[in-house]
Structures are given as structure tokens and as C-alpha cells.
Amino acid sequence: MKNLDNKAIFNALSNALHIFALKEDKVQFKLVKLINSEDDCKAVILTKDGELMGLYTDSNSAKSALNDVHSVFGDDQPLIQMHIKETKKGQSIYYAEIL
């Protein structure tokens, strides 16, 4: 993908959707830019349909899943889809499916 200018990044992040909405709508996307803070994570994403969007999450498991994908694939990001599964202890956690 071509380099995004700061305005495009800012606009995507300022209208960011919560990751839960993307999971519920089964949106498939590639990570374009990942921005971590201590409490949350934001990302600029490119959907399968070519739409540039922002996402955010305050979920540690979603933050971890996004960071894992970003770290493993670097500049060659795959399409992913987010899901939630329940652990043996009954906790709900996010995970990324590589498509």
C-alpha cells in the first residue's frame, strides 16, 4: 500500500470503531499502522473491500493479538479477522484468524 500521509492516518483514527464492532460484522482487514499506548491500542486498517478505517481496543487480548500479527508479518500484513473464544477458566479473549 502506498504511504499514508499524516492527515489520512489522523482521520482514520479519529473515526475509529471498537474492535468488537469489527468482530461482530466479520470485517476482514490488514493492519496498516499500529499505535500502542499503555492502556489501549489503535490501528489504521485496510478492509478487504479497500476501505481505510481506524480501530481501537482497550482489551489486552485484542492488543496482544494485533501486536503478534504485526510483529510476525512486518510489512507484508495478511488479511485477518478477529474472533472471541472462551478459555477453560471462562474468560473471553480475542484472537486473530489469518485468512
pLDDT in tens, 35-92: 998 888 999 999 999 999 999 999 999 999 999 999 999 989 999 999 999 999 999 9
- Grid cell locating 86: 472462551
List CB contacts of 26: < 8 A, sequence separation 6 or more.
Answer: 81
Q: Are 33 and 2 in contact (CB under 8 A)?
A: no
> Where are the domains positioned within the chain?
6-98
- Nearest-angstrom CA–CA distance, 9 and 99: 25
- Output DSSP code: residue 2: P
